[in-house]
Amino acid sequence: MTRAAVGAAALLLLAAALPAAAQDWKCRMAPGSTYSGCGLPFELSNFQGHFQCDSRVKVGRPATIDQLTAIVKTFPRVKANGVGSSWWSEQFCAGTDERAINVVMTELQATLSFIKSPVDPSVWLKSDMPADFPIKVDEDAATVTVAAGMPQRLLLDYLSEYVHWKQPQGWTLPAFTWWTDQTVGGAVATGSHGSSMKYGSLSSQVLSLTLLTANGTLRTLTPQADPHLFRAAGVSVGRLGVIVDLTFRIRPQMAVRKSLQELKFADFAAQVKATQDKYVAAKRRRDVAGQKAALFELDETQALWIVENDAVWRTDFKYLDKDPEDVLLNVLPGLEEGPPVEAFSGEDPTDESVFAQRSRNPIPPNPAMTRNPAFWGRFYATLGRQYVNPGTWESRKAFLAMTEDGARLTSALAPYIQMEVAVPLDLAGDCLVGLGKEIYGSKQLQEGFRNPALVRFTTVNIENWISLSSGQPNDKFDAVMRYFRDRCMARLHPGKGGWTEYAHCFDGAKEYPNSWCSFGCAVEELDPAGKFAGAGAGKFEIWRWNATRGGAEVPLASCSDRQTTAATFRVAALVQRIASERRALPGMPHRCLLALAATALLLLALGPQHASACTSYIVGAAASTDGSVLIARNDDGEGAVSPNWLVYHPRREGPAPWAANLNNLSLVLPAPGLAYFALPAGPLADGSGRNTSGEAAGMNEAGVAVSATESIYNSAAALVADPYNEAAGIIEDAIPSLLLPQATSARQGAELLGALVSEHGAGEAFGVLIADRQEAWYLETGSGHHWLAQRVPDRAFFVSANQGRFQDVDLSDASSALASPGLLQFAERAGLWDPSSGEPLNFFKAFMRDGDHDTNYSYPRVCLLQHLWAGYCGGGNCGSEEGSCDVGSSGVPLPCNDMRRQPVFLRPHPRKLGVQDVMAAMRNHWDRSPHDPYTRHNPDEPWRPIALLRTGMGHVTRLRPASKDLPDGLTLITYTALSTPALSPYIPIYIGLPGDQLPPELTAATPDAPDGASLFWKARRLQALVFQDWPSLATHAAAAIRGWEARVEREQRPAMEAGYAAAHAAGDVAAATAELVGFTRRVVRQAAALLDDLAEQAAAGLGLPGVPPAEGWLEMLKEAAEAYAFEPTSDDADAGVAAHVELRSRRERRGSGGGGAVAGPKGSTGSSSSSSLFAEHQVAVQ
Active site residues per annotation: 614
**Which residues, in sequence order, are bridge partners of residue 464?**
417
Beta strand pairing call for 242-249 and 311-318: unpaired
CB 1014 within 8 A of CB 1004: yes
Q: Where are the alpha helices (H) located in 1004-1068, listed in sequence order? A: 1015-1026, 1030-1047, 1053-1065
Q: Which residues of 222-236 are buried (b: 16+ CB within 10 A; e: fewer)?
A: bbbebbbbbbbbbbb
- What are the angstrom distances between the C-alpha of 713 and each of 129, 472, 613, 822, 1139? 55, 56, 11, 21, 9
Half-sphere exposure of 390 (CA within 13 A, CB side): 10
Q: What value, to the nearest 5°, has the Cα angle with vertex 293 and ends 610 and 393?
A: 135
Q: Are 394 and 256 in contact (CB under 8 A)?
A: yes
**Strand pairing category for 453-456 and 354-355:** unpaired
Spatial separation of the C-alpha atoms in residues 914 and 109, rounded to whole Å: 79
Report the C-alpha gap between 642 and 732 in whole angstroms.
17
Say how far apart CA 784 and CA 768 lie, in whole Å: 16
CA distance 1178 to 460: 8
Rounded Cα distance between 361 and 575, Å, is: 49
State yes or no: cis peptide before 709, omega within 30 of 0.
Answer: yes
- SS3 for 60-125 is ECCCCHHHHHHHHHHCCEEEEECCCCCCCHHHHCCCCCCCEEEEEHHHCHHHHHHHHCCCCHHHHH
* Full DSSP string of 621-681: GGGBTTS-EEEEEEE-SS-TTS----EEE--B-S-EEEE-SSSS-EEEEPSSB--EEEEE-
Cα dihedral across residues 1107, 1111, 1116, 1118: positive or negative: positive
Beta-bridge mates of residue 618 = 631, 798
245 φ/ψ angles, rounded to the nearest 5 degrees: -150, 165
Task: Kindly report the number of other CB atoms within 10 A of residue 471's CB atom.
Answer: 10
* CA nearest to 283, candidates 636, 605, 689: 605
Instruction: Kindly report the three-state secondary structure assignment for every residue of 107-160.
Output: HCHHHHHHHHCCCCHHHHHCCCCCCCCCEEEECCCCEEEEECCCEHHHHHHHHH
